[in-house]
Amino acid sequence: MGFVHTFLTTKWYWVSVALLGIALETVALYFQYQIGDEPCQICIHVRIWVAAFTLLALIMCVLPKRRYLYITGHLLLIGAGFGLWERSWYLYQLENGIGAGSCQFFLGFPDWFALDQWLPFMFEVRNLCGYTPELFAGVSMAEGLLAFASVAIPMAIYALYLSLISRPSTADHD
| Per-residue pLDDT tens digits for 3-18 | 877 888 888 999 999 9
| pTM value surpassing 0.75 | yes
Does residue 171 or residue 50 have the better pLDDT?
A: 50
**Does residue 172 lie within any of the structural domains?**
no
What CATH code is carried by the domain that includes residue 101? 1.20.1550.10
CA angle (82, 134, 89) in 5-degree steps: 25
pLDDT in tens, 69-117: 889 999 999 999 999 999 999 888 888 878 776 777 767 788 888 888 8
Q: DSSP state, 26?
A: H
- Is 28 exposed, middle or buried, given 0-12, 13-18 or 19+ CB atoms closer than 10 A? buried
> In whole angstroms, what is the distance from residue 173 CA to residue 67 CA?
10
> CA-to-CA distance for 72 and 122, rounded, in angstroms?
28
On whether residue 171 sits in a domain, the answer given is no
Domain range for 158 is: 3-166
Q: What pLDDT digit, counting tens, does each position of 129-165 carry?
A: 777 778 888 888 889 999 999 999 999 999 999 888 8
- Tell me what the mean pLDDT of segment 110-128 comes to: 85
Number of domain units in the chain: 1
Task: Say if residues 48 and 21 touch (Cβ distance below 8 Å).
Answer: no
Looking at residue 169, what is its pLDDT? 57
Confidence of residue 173 (pLDDT cuts 50, 70, 90): very low
Report yes or no: 91 and 146 within 8 Å, Cβ to Cβ: no
| 11 falls within a domain | yes
Identify whether the C-beta of residue 131 lies closer than 8 Å to the C-beta of residue 103: no
- The answer to whether residue 173 sits within a structural domain is no
